[in-house]
Amino acid sequence: MKLKQRVVLLAILLVIFIFTKVFLIDNLDTSAANREDQRAFHRMMTGLRVELAPKLDHTLQSPWEIAAQWVVPREVYPEETPELGAIMHAMATKKIIKADVGYKGTQLKALLILEGGQKVVFKPKRYSRDYVVEGEPYAGYDRHNAEVAAFHLDRILGFRRAPLVVGRFVNLRTEIKPVATEQLLSTFLIVGNNTCFYGKCYYCRETEPACADGDTMEGSVTLWLPDVWPLQKHRHPWGRTYREGKLARWEYDESYCDAVKKTSPYDSGPRLLDIIDTSVFDYLIGNADRHHYESFQDDEGASMLILLDNAKSFGNPSLDERSILAPLYQCCIIRVSTWNRLNYLKNGVLKSALKFAMAHDPISPVLSDPHLDAVDQRLLSVLATVKQCTDQFGMDTVLVEDRMPLSHL
């Protein structure tokens, strides 16, 4: 057996060992656990490894057609995705036929069109893996590797609400410049021996370009959602004001959640529970910058909250921004399925699963060990927050069945 195969086998055995430890040794309270949640978790763990390979078996469809058909109102991709490796391989390798400036926003990005007509968003590398972003939790440039890590965390949590993301190396001189629009091309420059560009965005500056290593630039590519699913933007009810000295209502009003529950689309349907799921997700990745969010249009509150733009995360492993969890600790409700999944991931399982899921990405290692350790530590804080709620209000009030209407709360 080759050394690489042995390493992979040992990694799989390690994940299975930890998984078994959680269920057999840690004495999890299974009276509140749903058996289907356990089976779903086991399926996720066994299918965690995504090996990028070009072959698509048993279909004549393109990778882009398959990914487009996956999208439905409550998930971006299904629970079982045998074609995921082929789709991500296409995202990481297909020829770039057009490059343009990114869609409007505050951060540098490029909009690429790959062979077959598929749009992807390219976010360039701005920091080394060990760089620590100091200052406010939303400070600094976007982190391309954070998009990759956030996608795999979305898989592990079982949310399936984040668009597909994979790392990619591009040659700016041979792959981008020949197919770039004039608007993008005008932002290219040479710094030392490195090709750079600064693009078009609110904070984009010629003095702060993203630079390749020579001509080769590391980045992430995010699969564009199908145009048949237009997006609607919403202000996050727990968003910041971003004004010095001015607090948002949730920062001083202890009964704020009661007011949110009386406001559409949070007064019925799944949206409020999606907000709370997202607060857990954002806290785990250290993202304090979700001031808006997107859903599908004309959904009357039934669409999922789509986990877009996760790059303002994994900046500082020491960050413990508890305010991100405000929807959870102010409303004191959480989905049963989310609660079960979080419990299954404690005792080091989350760190191991995340590391294993990202091992085959082209830009691996995606995260440094301090960031992986931080995710595990933040998970404990989430579990402790839910326990405080259940101690105060009881399990039956705090743990909400996924399909239960919220009118009873």
User: For residues 396 and 79, what is the distance between their CA atoms, to the nearest angstrom?
Assistant: 28
Q: Which parts are annotated binding residues for ATP?
A: 107, 123, 222-225, 294, 309
The reply to whether 289 belongs to the active site is yes
Task: Judge whether 29 and 387 are in contact, CB under 8 Å.
Answer: no
- Which residues sit in the known binding site? 107, 123, 142, 222-225, 294, 309
Which residue among the candidates 274, 289, 361, 376 is catalytic per the annotation?
289
Rounded to whole angstroms, the Cα distance separating 195 from 191 reads 7
Residues annotated within the binding site for Mn(2+) are 142, 309
Active site residues: 289
